[in-house]
Amino acid sequence: MSRKTERYPVTSANSLWHIYKTVPFWKVVKNFIVIQLARYTPFIGVKNWLYRTFLRMKVGDETAVALMVMMDIMFPERISIGRNSIIGYNTTILAHEYLIKEYRLGDVVIGDEVMIGANTTILPGVTIGDGAIVSAGTLVHRDVPAGAFVGGNPMQVIRE
Per-residue pLDDT of 96-149, as tens digits, reads 999 999 999 999 999 999 999 999 999 999 999 999 999 999 999 999 999 999
Residue pair 108/114 in contact by the 8 Å Cβ criterion: no
Q: Is residue 1 part of a domain?
A: no
Please, what is the Cα angle at 30 between 25 and 31, to 5 degrees? Answer: 95
Q: The domain spanning residue 67 has which CATH number?
A: 2.160.10.10
Q: CA 108 to CA 93: how far, in whole Å?
A: 8
User: Pairing relation of β-strands 86-87 and 102-105?
Assistant: unpaired
Q: What's residue 40's pLDDT?
A: 98
Instruction: Tell me: cis bond preceding 76? Omega within 30 of 0 counts.
Output: no
Q: Which residues of 74-87 are buried (b: 16+ CB within 10 A; e: fewer)?
A: bbbbbbbbbeebbb
* Nearest one of 68, 63, 60 to 42, comparing CA atoms: 68
Band of pLDDT at residue 158, cut at 50, 70 and 90 = very high
Q: Domain range holding 83?
A: 6-159
Distances (CA, A) of 4 to 1, 16, 36, 125, 140: 9, 21, 28, 4, 13
Residues 61-100: tens digit of each pLDDT: 999 999 999 999 999 999 999 999 999 999 999 999 999 9
What's the predicted TM-score (pTM) here?
0.96
Average pLDDT value for residue range 47-61? 98
81 phi/psi in degrees, rounded to 5: -125, 130
Average pLDDT value for residue range 34-56? 98
User: Pairing relation of β-strands 64-65 and 86-87?
Assistant: parallel
Total structural domains within the chain: 1
Please, what is the Cα angle at 119 between 117 and 124, to 5 degrees? Answer: 90
Band of pLDDT at residue 3, cut at 50, 70 and 90 = confident
